[in-house]
């Protein structure tokens, strides 16, 4: 059990709560887990951090369902709220995530909302939750509370996300730290509705390449900032160009390039190697991420070498998804995005 626990907790930002997780692993050989994604366009590196944890959960014996949340994307005005584009986005995510995390299972929100009792439970969650609490949870959509005032459907979103967890009979809910409000709402509502309380597992968020903003949402990697997001379909040259402009201070805090290494590249690739031309010393390998961070802080690795090495490592990580994208759902989504 100790080995399974270590795998599940590896690299997470928060577990609510560890004693509950330990009890779950003790009680079940094959617990169930859920993670949800709205269809929102082409995949970027930040989306792979929770999917990396999906790999870990599968390795630890979990049965993991990836919810392809088309209805949630519709509420959140993703892909213009166009259902043809949302369906293309769902199939694209199924293809991409399936290539990155073999063994994951998939379900769409359209399938889930048709299940018996789904909408009844949404109302029961709403009855068990104050409007103030629901407003606070709007942040899980990447929206401000004020935006919901002009679109009442947004207030259904947090209750739906809690209901998704119950409907999938998940023992554990996985998401980035930006999903914490939804998971805490689901845990609190479960007590009032006399439902099993899920364990909540939160992964770190990758920072935007442009550096820290004034608020957490400003500094999160997002496709809304084309220069600050690394798409899995970017060529090696595109990755290098984007990273060449990245904010990269010598200190660890607020350094998005080191974020990528700590939370994605080092755990996913299993090695920490910076490729660089022979005239600048050739490739350099570090024992672990901590050694890389120390070299950056101490001036032993030039920021440009770090950026170029990061681009090369990302190109290696993205290769399976790039292969999976030709042809098929990728083409349908890019066509929808162009319309």
Q: Is residue 332 part of a domain?
A: no
CATH number at residue 298: 1.10.240.10
pLDDT of residue 216 exceeding 50, the answer is no
Q: Do 230 and 102 lie in a common domain? A: no
Asked if 76 and 30 count as a contact pair (C-beta separation under 8 A), the reply is no
Q: Is residue 210 part of a domain?
A: no
Q: Is residue 334 part of a domain?
A: no
Q: How many CA atoms lie within 13 A of 319 on its CB side?
A: 8
- Scan for tokens 């995510």, then name that residue: 93
Q: Do 187 and 278 lie in a common domain? A: no
**Enclosing domain of residue 223:** 216-325
- pTM reported for the whole predicted model: 0.93
Q: Is residue 321 part of a domain?
A: yes
Interval 154-181: pLDDT, tens: 999 999 999 999 999 999 999 999 999 9
Q: Is residue 50 part of a domain?
A: yes
Is residue 80 left, alpha or beta, with left meaning phi > 0 and alpha meaning psi from -120 to 50?
left
Q: How many CB atoms lie within 10 A of CB 286?
A: 19
Domain boundary among 176, 203, 230: 203
Interval 96-139: pLDDT, tens: 999 999 999 999 999 999 999 999 999 999 999 999 999 999 99
Interval 270-324: pLDDT, tens: 999 998 888 888 899 999 999 999 999 999 999 999 999 999 999 999 988 777 7
Report how far residue 12's alpha carbon sits from residue 56's, in angstroms, rounded to the nearest whole number: 11
- Phi, psi angle pair for 129, to nearest 5°: -130, 140
For 176-191, the DSSP string reads EGGGHHHHHHHHHHHH
Q: Do 238 and 172 lie in a common domain? A: no
Q: Is residue 167 part of a domain?
A: yes
Q: Do 111 and 164 lie in a common domain? A: yes
CATH number at residue 30: 3.40.50.620
Report how far residue 177's alpha carbon sits from residue 6's, in angstroms, rounded to the nearest whole number: 20
Question: What is the total count of domains within the chain?
Answer: 2
Q: Do 148 and 240 lie in a common domain? A: no
Asked if 33 and 64 count as a contact pair (C-beta separation under 8 A), the reply is yes
């Amino acid at each position: 059990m100790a080995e399974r626990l270590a795998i599940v907790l590896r690299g997470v930002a928060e577990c609510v709560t560890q004693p509950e997780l330990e009890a779950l692993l003790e009680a079940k050989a094959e617990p169930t887990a859920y993670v949800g994604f709205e269809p929102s366009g082409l995949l970027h590196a930040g989306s792979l951090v929770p999917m990396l944890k999906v790999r870990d959960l599968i390795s630890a014996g979990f049965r993991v369902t990836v919810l392809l949340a088309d209805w949630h994307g519709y509420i959140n005005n993703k892909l213009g709220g166009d259902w043809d584009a949302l369906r293309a986005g769902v199939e694209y995510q199924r293809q991409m995530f399936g290539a990155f995390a073999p063994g994951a299972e998939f379900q769409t929100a359209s399938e889930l909302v048709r299940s018996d009792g789904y909408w009844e439970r949404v109302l029961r969650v709403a009855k068990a939750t104050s409007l103030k609490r629901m407003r606070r949870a709007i942040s899980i959509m990447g929206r401000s509370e004020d935006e919901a005032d002009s679109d009442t459907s947004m207030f259904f979103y947090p209750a739906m996300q809690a209901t998704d967890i119950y409907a999938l009979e998940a023992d554990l809910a996985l998401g980035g730290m930006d999903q914490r409000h939804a998971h805490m709402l689901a845990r609190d509502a479960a007590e009032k509705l006399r439902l099993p309380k899920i364990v909540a597992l939160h992964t770190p968020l990758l920072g935007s390449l442009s550096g820290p903003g004034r608020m957490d949402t400003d500094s999160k990697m997002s496709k809304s900032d084309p220069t600050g997001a690394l798409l899995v379909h970017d060529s090696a040259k595109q990755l290098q160009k984007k990273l060449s402009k990245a904010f990269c201070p010598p200190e660890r805090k607020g350094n998005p390039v080191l974020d990528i290494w700590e939370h994605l590249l080092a755990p996913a690739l299993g090695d920490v190697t910076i490729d660089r031309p022979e005239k600048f010393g050739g490739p350099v390998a570090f024992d672990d991420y901590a050694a890389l961070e120390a070299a950056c802080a101490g001036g032993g690795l030039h920021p440009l070498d770090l950026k170029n090495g990061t681009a090369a490592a990302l190109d290696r990580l993205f290769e399976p998804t790039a292969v999976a994208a030709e042809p098929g759902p990728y083409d349908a989504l890019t066509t929808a995005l162009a319309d």
